[in-house]
A and B are shown apart, each in its own frame.
Chain A
Amino acid sequence: MTNIILPELGEGITKATIACWHVNPGDPVAAGQEICEAVTDKASFVIESPATGKLKDICVKDGQEGVVGGVLGIIE
């Protein structure tokens, strides 16, 4: 299993809100595929799948806040 992590967005940014997921649990995903968007401070940041497989679980849902380095979802 591979965790989808909210990446470092730069010094001083510790959290971001997930604006939307482009895939649902159970959907196949490919490494590098754009799977969700995080927004912080008037910027939206596209997050890509770190692995090929199936999205097992979404840990931070649309509208919820994630922390940098935290797990947003899981791929199996």
Chain B
Amino acid sequence: MRGIVVEDWGLIGYADAYARQKALVQQVLDGADDRLVLCEHPPVLTLGRMTNPQSLLYQRKEIEARGVVITAIDRGGDVTLHAPGQLVVYPVFNLNKYGKNLKAYMETLEELAVDLLRNFGILAISVPGQRGVFVGTDKIVSIGVGVRKWITYHGLGINVNTDLSFFDLIKPCGLNVRMTSMKKLKGQEVPMADVKTKTIEQFQKHFRSLNP
């Protein structure tokens, strides 16, 4: 993809990925090409800047006993969960090239997620006033971003084959919302490699059109 370098980090610990992501932010800030990072994380709850303590439905010890790490991070939003089977996408993009419009950036992420899911026969929608992407009333994609000097980090969590029982631990994004996955909707596992390929295509399409 011209101007955007794709990096697939596979299954990677959250803390490790976070450190690598911050290093990429600095590289892009220093003039490197935009990066599109694809990865999966072992089970982890990340607490965004606006996390309501009541969004954790169990005691910390009980959550950790399920093998889930809890970590506070510098993204907008409330609590979210990452686990294997969820495709995590970190666009480290220089928004100086795309018009420095945070709202347009977030909306573009939603639009490309809707288009991505349509590729797999899933009719998803974005809901005014709520970030993320939904199928009916169930949420399938979570979005939360950070921006430093107009370089983006954090991004999207797309539930491909995620074990949805992990979401019973929290109120996702602080909402009384049920989560769903592509696997649940299709009734079978969806090949992660296919989702990655289509995700790259959607970024190529949507960010090319944003590029002035």
Contacts and interface: CB of A to CB of B under 8 A. Distances in A.
Interface of A: 8-13, 17, 19-20, 34, 37, 39-46, 48
B102 A45 contact: yes
A43 to B, nearest CB: 4
Nearest to A63: B50
Contacts of A48: 149
Which residue among A10, A11, A44 has the maximum number of chain B CB atoms within 10 Å of its CB? Answer: A44
Interface in B121-150: 131, 143-149
B49 interface: yes
A42 B100 contact: no
B102 A20 contact: no
B131 A44 contact: no
Interface stretch (B4-12, B72-80, B191-199, B201-209): B72-80
List 7 tightest A-B contacts by C-beta distance, closest first: A10-B101, A19-B49, A42-B131, A44-B76, A10-B102, A46-B148, A39-B76
Contact of A10 (B49, B100, B173): B100
Interface of B: 48-50, 74-77, 99-106, 131, 143-149, 173
Contacts of A20: 49
Contacts of A42: 48, 75-77, 106, 131, 143-145, 173
A45 B148 CA distance: 6
Nearest to A13: B103
B104 A11 contact: yes
Contact of B102 (A19, A34, A41): A41
A10 B98 CA distance: 11
A64 B47 CA distance: 19
Contacts of B100: 8, 10
A39 B49 CA distance: 8
A44 B152 CA distance: 10
A44 B146 contact: yes
